[in-house]
Structure 1
Amino acid sequence: MAHNYDNRSGGRHMTFDDDQDNSEYNSRDSFKRKNKEDDRFSFGKRQRFGGQNDNKPRFENWNSEAGRMNNWNSNKNKKWQDAEQFEEYFEDVPRPEKPRKYTISIAVPASILEETCKKDELRTYVVGQVARAANIYSVDEIIVYDDKCWRKKDVTGNDSQNLIEMMRMLLEYQECPQYLRKYLFSFHRFLGKVGVLNALNAPHHLLSKQWCEYREGVVLDRRNKSLSYVDVGLSSEITIDKKLDAGLRVTVKLPPETKDLTKRFGVVVSPDEPREKCGYYWGYTVRVAHSLTEVMTGGRFRNGYDLLIGTSDKGEDIKTTEYPTFSHALIVFGGVEGLEAAIEADDQLEATEPLHLFDFYTNTCPMQQARTIRTEEAVLISLCALQDKLLPKGKN
């Protein structure tokens, strides 16, 4: 079959000499007719999605100025309606059954960050595990103390005092509600690895859509002669009837009638009130002690701790131990070398044995098979074992 190339098309179209009816292919309008035939045969496909109305432009309403304004106004009104519904909706936080006036404190040596952790990332994670255990078992105070059992004076450029400060800062950072951290914590090298921390999900770490009669807040830097504005994690700040310094963390009680108001107000109360009056676990405080003696004597309670418990694998079996009633209990954990080494290293202590210092010297894991238990593991194990022993003995 002979064929020639059409020079006008640059050799892209062929003309057939021996074809009887090749005028259809050789004419200039052949491709236009082909497109019309494709439209005719594909008409049924468009009809499935709306039929003949699909021949019209989809956005014909936007061709006119009135159509554009109507669509814009409808979307704007929908957004405002959604915002109003979101602000009015709150999920009530369940209230505990009864108040709690007794407290539980734990003391953890900062030397564990030197003995078992070589990098800041692992140190941050270990401190986070201690904070998680304290949060799970409602610990009200964590004491970071120096047990004088440092094997090395310098670890990656940080001395013992820096490790104590690092542990304190990480514990305070994790206890602080997320919406307040931007006010209370600036960038610091001790906080460089906080991404490995697990969230506490504590009762006072409230979301913006959760409603609780108490909230943690920070006083904002806004000028007013008689009032203070506080950010408590809601959609807008609230007001209190006191003039306080900006940047101060406060515990605020919100009256029930403010739940449905646009401009809410509250009253500053003691951080212990949510626990003492309603039974909420309201986080822990952090205290630094530079010796084991300061752990015992430097508490914030007027009469001190009335129940002292030391933990060690050399102590008495917890299954055979019965504890008395108490108001403020203190549980002390040792480092890698144990509490015996910490007592021996403290020159201010008159006691030479743990039984002379503590009311009870307890082995909270009598069935252990490993040679040693890490301190962060001992905190979780001990608090779990002591839960059924201590909670019924607390004075309310």
Structure 2
Amino acid sequence: MTKDPGKVFVWPPPERGLGLSIHIPSSLVSVEHGIAKRTMVLGLVARAAAIFRVRKIRVYRDPGSSARDLIFVKKILEYMASPPYLRKKLFKIDRDLRAVGILPPLATASHATEEDLAREHIRPALALSVDSRNICLEAGLARIVCLDASKAKWVRKGDLVYVVVTPNGSISRLATQREVESIYW
């Protein structure tokens, strides 16, 4: 329930005390024929998981599926979980991803709307280069942003980090683990 009786819907939903995990069999897609149907089934699973703020989806191989099914499920779910502005950098052209255009939107915190961009928010960023002085990040902004490397010595090239973006579109700092968990899960 919300504190304001006139407000029925709250987004993002309140933080969950415990993380929710689900397990799905890779055979979920083995009964479907055609890449579009297989992709759509996984899209619906991922959308439901996003709505209920599932923290982790584990895929297991059961007797009715092949190793190929397991790989397919993993690729599609990882693709959907990634922010749209980083997908070209994270995924190469792949036959398994040819039907991803039909996937439903997740409406998660990493899939920012124009409203989100108008206020301070947290978003994932990809570390493109790291040296002793700078960490250069791709965060889907107008340009690549470089931060002082002394603020995050643990970041390596290719790491996905979370950053705090100001309303004017600049990165102010790296987000803390607590900040990320309160928004994303």
- Does residue 229 (structure 1) correspond to residue 132 (structure 2)? The answer is no
Q: Which residue of structure 1 aligns with residue 157 of structure 2?
A: 246
Q: For structure 2, which runs of at least 5 residues remain unmatched after alignment?
A: 1-9
Instruction: Return the alpha-carbon distance in structure 1 between the equivalents of residues 145 and 40 of structure 2.
Output: 35
Q: Contact 1:227 / 1:239 at 8 angstroms: preserved in 2? A: yes
Q: Contact 1:127 / 1:170 at 8 angstroms: preserved in 2? A: yes
- Does residue 216 (structure 1) correspond to residue 112 (structure 2)? The answer is no
TM-superposed CA distance for 1:206, in Å, is 1.2
Aligned counterpart in structure 1 of residue 30 of structure 2, from 98, 114, 127:
114
Structure 2 CA distance for partners of 1:96 and 1:134, relative to 1, 3 Å: closer
Instruction: Return the alpha-carbon distance in structure 2 between the equivalents of residues 269 and 95 of structure 1.
Output: 21
Instruction: Return the alpha-carbon distance in structure 2 between the equivalents of residues 126 and 96 of structure 1.
Output: 25
Instruction: Return the alpha-carbon distance in structure 1 between the equivalents of residues 36 and 171 of structure 2.
Output: 41
Q: TM-score, normalised by structure 1?
A: 0.39
- Does residue 280 (structure 1) correspond to residue 183 (structure 2)? The answer is yes
Structure 2 CA distance for partners of 1:210 and 1:123, relative to 1, 3 Å: farther
TM-superposed CA distance for 1:195, in Å, is 1.4
More strand by share: 2
| RMSD of Structure 2 on Structure 1 (CA) | 2.5
TM-superposed CA distance for 1:197, in Å, is 0.8
- Does residue 177 (structure 1) correspond to residue 83 (structure 2)? The answer is yes
Instruction: Return the alpha-carbon distance in structure 1 between the equivalents of residues 34 and 73 of structure 2.
Output: 13
Instruction: Return the alpha-carbon distance in structure 2 between the equivalents of residues 97 and 163 of structure 1.
Output: 33
TM-superposed CA distance for 1:192, in Å, is 1.1
Instruction: Return the alpha-carbon distance in structure 2 between the equivalents of residues 203 and 141 of structure 1.
Output: 15
Q: Counterpart of 1:248 in structure 2: which amino acid? A: D
Instruction: Return the alpha-carbon distance in structure 1 between the equivalents of residues 30 and 14 of structure 2.
Output: 41
Residue deviations 1:98-138 (CA, integer Å, cap 9, x gap): 544411111110112112x0111110111101001101111
Instruction: Return the alpha-carbon distance in structure 1 between the equivalents of residues 72 and 118 of structure 2.
Output: 32
Structure 2 CA distance for partners of 1:101 and 1:192, relative to 1, 3 Å: same
Instruction: Return the alpha-carbon distance in structure 1 between the equivalents of residues 87 and 156 of structure 2.
Output: 17
More helix by share: 1
DSSP 3-state at the match of 2:92: coil
DSSP 3-state at the match of 1:201: coil
TM-superposed CA distance for 1:224, in Å, is 4.6
Instruction: Return the alpha-carbon distance in structure 2 between the equivalents of residues 180 and 149 of structure 1.
Output: 34
Q: TM-score, normalised by structure 2?
A: 0.78
Residue deviations 1:230-253 (CA, integer Å, cap 9, x gap): 122222333333364333211123
Q: Which residue of structure 1 aligns with residue 40 of structure 2?
A: 125
Q: Counterpart of 1:126 in structure 2: which amino acid? A: V
Structure 2 CA distance for partners of 1:265 and 1:122, relative to 1, 3 Å: same
Q: Counterpart of 1:129 in structure 2: which amino acid? A: L
Identity level (%): 31
Instruction: Return the alpha-carbon distance in structure 2 between the equivalents of residues 231 and 111 of structure 1.
Output: 36
Q: Contact 1:206 / 1:233 at 8 angstroms: preserved in 2? A: no
- Counting matched residue pairs gives 170
Instruction: Return the alpha-carbon distance in structure 2 between the equivalents of residues 252 and 231 of structure 1.
Output: 10
Structure 2 CA distance for partners of 1:269 and 1:183, relative to 1, 3 Å: farther
Q: Which residue of structure 1 aligns with residue 51 of structure 2?
A: 136
Q: For structure 1, which runs of at least 5 residues remain unmatched after alignment?
A: 1-93, 151-159, 283-396
Instruction: Return the alpha-carbon distance in structure 1 between the equivalents of residues 144 and 173 of structure 2.
Output: 10
Instruction: Return the alpha-carbon distance in structure 1 between the equivalents of residues 69 and 13 of structure 2.
Output: 40
Instruction: Return the alpha-carbon distance in structure 1 between the equivalents of residues 103 and 13 of structure 2.
Output: 31
Q: Contact 2:22 / 2:57 at 8 angstroms: preserved in 1? A: yes
Residue deviations 1:165-224 (CA, integer Å, cap 9, x gap): 110110010111100101111111110111111111212211463434311111123x75
* Equivalent runs, 1:1-396 vs 2, <5 Å: 99-115=15-31, 117-150=32-65, 160-207=66-113, 209-221=117-129, 224-242=131-149, 244-254=155-165, 258-260=166-168, 264-267=171-174, 269-270=176-177, 273-275=179-181, 279-282=182-185
